[in-house]
Amino acid sequence: MYSRLKYTEKQRNISEFILLGFSYDQNMQIFCFVLFLFCYDTLLAGNFLILVSIRCSPLFHQPMYYFLSHLSSMDICYTSTVTPKFIGDLLGGTKTISYDNCMLQVFAMHFFGSTEVFILTVMALDRYVAICKPLHYVIIMNRTKCYLLVLAAWAGGALHSFPQLLMAIQLPFCGPNELDHYFCDIFPLLKVACTDTYITGVLVVANSGMVALVTFVVLFVSYVIILFSLRHHSAEGRLKALSTCGSHITVVILFLGPSIFAYIRPPTTFPEDKIFALFYTIVAPMFNPLIYTLRNTEMKSAMRKVLCQTLFSKEVCN
């Protein structure tokens, strides 16, 4: 592999890329800076609050909240690979990123993003067992299996992202170094590579596109089965299950919908790609805390307790 990397290095004569971002208008960039800084701060605060609330309460021992804590961790890691630099570039002049950091961003984006997709799948499995097989829930979703499912999600993320990285580092770059995006991704890189990228593009679609599409289909079918089985439950049980499943479905649509548009098509770039990318890099992770806590009384109670103990004494909160 080392010799392959040395060969690839000889095939490029650029050391950095220029990210074109959204707009050259200074006023628009300042507006975007304020907007996305607010979004990123909200995202960090919300997901950290969920993490601390779950870790500091008995909810951590329930599979659904154990998986939710991992989802919040992925939201923070995933968004932080792109958003801080994006926000900083909005106030800077030329938006550059070194070749090595660009490759690292490609890997991190796909690793944390795909791991998050697999955790969403695990959460759908958890809801399926809880609603369709309630008497066997404790046995099926025991602690060991929860650990293994999260480990499988991380392994799936690695299996998806390493091929993406290998395809990216083998691309030769010898001409234009302007990427029509606000972060490094495989399709913008294919556009400026000085070689025929048709085969690589097909492989990217087969990898990223099919992961997004297959996962979406699996999640859609699983939630259809869950909703269909609710007709045998009481009105109160249906309302509680619909509330939980509705939150999950909203997250899946916000995250996977734009991802499918971005990757399950011919390997080229469109101006709309940057808008859709905002949904799966910033918007969906920002709304996750709100979606998962708005109608969840257990989470709201745990978060109130954490906030109360942070601001006041334990005796006052108890």
Domains in the chain, CATH or no CATH each: 16-311 (1.20.1070.10)
Residue 204 near residue 186, CB atoms below 8 Å: yes
- Cα 110 to Cα 137: distance, rounded to the nearest angstrom: 32
pLDDT at residue 153 in the model? 95
CB atoms within 10 A of CB 269: 17
pLDDT at residue 5 in the model? 45
Q: What are phi and psi of 95, to 5 degrees?
A: -95, 95
Amino acid occupying residue 86: F
CB atoms within 10 A of CB 188: 23
Residue 254 near residue 283, CB atoms below 8 Å: yes
3-state secondary structure of 207: helix
pLDDT at residue 11 in the model? 59
pLDDT at residue 265 in the model? 73
First to last CA, the chain: 59
pLDDT at residue 7 in the model? 43
> Hey, what are 244's tokens?
């939980």
pLDDT at residue 10 in the model? 46
3-state secondary structure of 179: strand
**pLDDT averaged over 10-residue windows placed end to end, the chain, 318 residues:** 45 80 78 91 91 88 91 93 91 84 94 92 88 86 94 94 92 85 89 86 84 86 80 69 73 83 73 81 85 76 78 58
CA of 24: how far to CAs of 21, 89, 129, 254, 278, in Å? 8, 11, 51, 28, 18
> Hey, what are 76's tokens?
């923070």
| pTM: predicted TM-score of the whole model, two decimal places | 0.86
> Hey, what are 307's tokens?
């906030």
